[in-house]
Chains A and B, each alone.
Chain A
């Protein structure tokens, strides 16, 4: 299998994003947000460090979410609208390589942005006397995995829908639904109507369960997840991304250019 085409797409996507003003402004905005945590956290009295930690981790994820939605939804759509896709596909490159390359290039750019914000955030925390905790890295990794999953879904939705606005709305809807699946499970258990019960059960099984990626919320709990749980989370993340990318690739292969 010739992967030269795949690497070429990853390379040009990465370069495109790093030169993109929207991407740079969002990363810069993330930095400002984390910096402003220093001021806002003074309201929390002796919980200042906790608040800087929470604002920073939430801010990094929020900025990454905004970026992934805006960038990924337009990733293929813009190239189709501007017809530049004809030029790319005229090269010896498979369609799945194009989809995978575009996705990986985008995710690498995003993860680099998140890493830059995290370094700035850690600097702020150390300045305030925070004691290093390995859970920070796990929380950041989980956040990155979450962004990778929502990115793959955003790409899939951009190919399913006709406009970027609807793809963005559906992606945002999935994000919220993904933090609500625990409640859906409860509602499914309590519902007396078998149709409602079945529908709720299907939705909570199929929708991505994003609450599990919020390790920052439960690392202080009395019982933390066992190592096997993290292994299954990795499998879950990879399978979800793989499913969304394969479906995107399948949809893309059906398009006529």
Chain B
């Protein structure tokens, strides 16, 4: 036996190190559990193969980014306000949750999806918006804007528009708030004929260099609102 061990020193040493692998693996699992939903919770009806491929190849974040781009393409990007067909937006909740189940810490996706569902007039599905926000809060309980949106939806359902706008105005103060959501809040102010507040939001969009693709729209909205505000 001793002779065998001497001849196969490398093999014996590798077995000892492998015991180290097993022990450290156990400790790693004990100290921290990966904070992701299991595969069975992924939404795989339309794009399962694509999403699972990204995850098993080790590129989860990139998979969520691709899902996000697909959500934006579905919604229509900055032109969402111009859409009139209700049918086109049936998949918003599905596509939002699909994105966030790949990466549950993609906070802007929850806000974007919920805002489209809750505050775009032709869609108006606040219950679905609340589902999205609830899931967001499950994974990001300390992310304050999500709480604001939930409260805003609560006021909307009770038809307390003033309180709803107050909540949303605070929520969009988050520097990473999606620009589309800011646009939605500005529209809500406009509907309430609170033009100065609406203009202030569009001006803040105009001042944000990161969203230069939205500047043309912001400018035209400001001109339109200035015209309205001067009307008797």
Contacts and interface: CB of A to CB of B under 8 A. Distances in A.
Contact of A235 (B24, B39, B178): B24
Q: Size band of the B side of the interface?
A: 35 or more
Contact of B213 (A45, A50, A96): A45
A232 B35 contact: no
A44 B14 contact: no
- Interface of A (DSSP majority class): helix
B14 A220 contact: no
A212 interface: yes
B61 A54 contact: yes
Contacts, number: 143
A153 B103 CA distance: 29
Nearest to B22: A205
B179 A46 contact: yes
A45 B36 contact: no
B58 interface: yes
Contact of A45 (B34, B72, B139): B72
B226 interface: no
A72 to B, nearest CB: 18
Contact of A242 (B17, B65, B104): B17
A51 interface: yes
Q: Size band of the A side of the interface?
A: 35 or more
B173 to A, nearest CB: 15
Interface stretch (A76-84, A116-124, A161-169, A223-231): A223-231
30 contacts: A44-B65, A45-B72, A46-B178, A46-B210, A46-B211, A48-B210, A49-B210, A50-B65, A55-B65, A62-B59, A146-B58, A175-B57, A179-B57, A182-B36, A186-B38, A210-B58, A212-B34, A218-B105, A221-B105, A222-B142, A223-B32, A223-B35, A226-B32, A228-B31, A233-B28, A242-B20, A243-B18, A247-B10, A250-B10, A250-B11
